[in-house]
Homo-oligomer: A and B are copies of this chain.
Amino acid sequence: MSGPLHRRIYADLERRILSGDWAPGQRIPFEHELTAAYGCSRMTVNKAISELAGRGLVTRRRRAGTFVAQPKAHAAVLAIPDLRAEVVERGQAYGYRLLERRERDAATEEESDLARDGRLLDLACLHSADGAPLALERRLIALSAAPEADRVDFGVTPPGSWLLDQAPWTEAENRIAAVEAESAEARLLGLKTGAACLRVERRTWRDGQGVTRVWQTFPGDRYDLIARFSSRGDRR
C-alpha cells in the first residue's frame, strides 16, 4: 500500500468496515486514538475520516464519536455487465476479438490515480453477438491490483469476464452517456459516423484501490441498459 498517508488510512479504515470487522453502529476509534496509532497529526486522520463520512460509510457525532453507518435500506443493483454471459444467456453466439494489448506506465494523473505503482495493462477489444458488433471496449487494468493479468491471454478470454472472477470489486462507478460514433469507432461497429451510441465508463475499486477502468461503446440501436431497484433492499 502506497500513496498519501491520508489515503492509506482511508483504505485501512474502509477495509475494516467493508469486511465487517467493524460492524454497523459500532464506534470507531476517536481521532486522537488514530492519531496515535498512525503516528501522524490529527488533520491527516481527520481528512481520511471526512472522506469516509462523505461516502456515507460512517456518521460523525460531536461528543459521541464516529460510527460505522447502517447499510442503506435502498440497496440497488445495476449488474456489472459481463457481456459474454449476457450474450450467451440470450442464446446468441458470442464473438470476441482483441484489437490491442500494451503494458505501459500510467501517463496521466487520472491513470496514476488508478494504478498506484504506475503499471497498467491497456487493452482494446470488440465484442459481437451472432456476428454483429455489439460493443467496442477500451480497458485499463491496474497491475498492482491484478498482477496475474499480465500472464493471461486476453486474445481468448475477455478481460471483463476474467476480472469479474479474479478481482472482485467493492465499489464501482458507472458513467453513462450518449455519444455520436467517431469514424474509427463507427467502422469497427459497422455504423455510420455520427450514429448514436451508448457509452458506459466504469471504474471499480477494491478496498479503495483502483482495479480497472473501462469504456464500452454500444450501438444505440442494438443495446440498452436495464437497472432494477427496489426500496426493500432485495437484490432480485
Contact = CB atoms under 8 A, between A and B. Distances in A.
A230 B78 CA distance: 10
A197 B197 CA distance: 9
A77 B196 contact: no
A214 to B, nearest CB: 14
Interface stretch (A90-98, A153-161, A221-229): A221-229
* Copies of the polypeptide in the assembly: 2
A236 B61 CA distance: 19
A99 B196 CA distance: 26
A2 interface: no
Interface in A179-231: 179-180, 194-199, 218, 220, 223-231
A171 B224 contact: no
Contacts of A164: none
Interface in A17-65: 18, 43, 54-57, 61
Given A71-B233, A77-B227, A196 B180 contact: yes
Which of A78, A173, A218 has its CB near the most chain B CB atoms (within 10 A)? A78
Given A18-B231, A232-B18, A198 B176 contact: yes
Contacts of A132: none
A171 B230 contact: yes
B235 A56 contact: yes
B176 A224 contact: yes
B176 A235 contact: no
A171 B74 contact: no
A224 B71 contact: no
Given A75-B233, A234-B72, A175 B18 contact: no
A177 B77 contact: no
Contacts of A168: 231
Contact of A74 (B72, B175, B196, B226): B175
Q: Which 7 A-B pairs have the closest CB atoms?
A: A178-B220, A177-B224, A196-B196, A178-B178, A178-B198, A71-B233, A176-B225
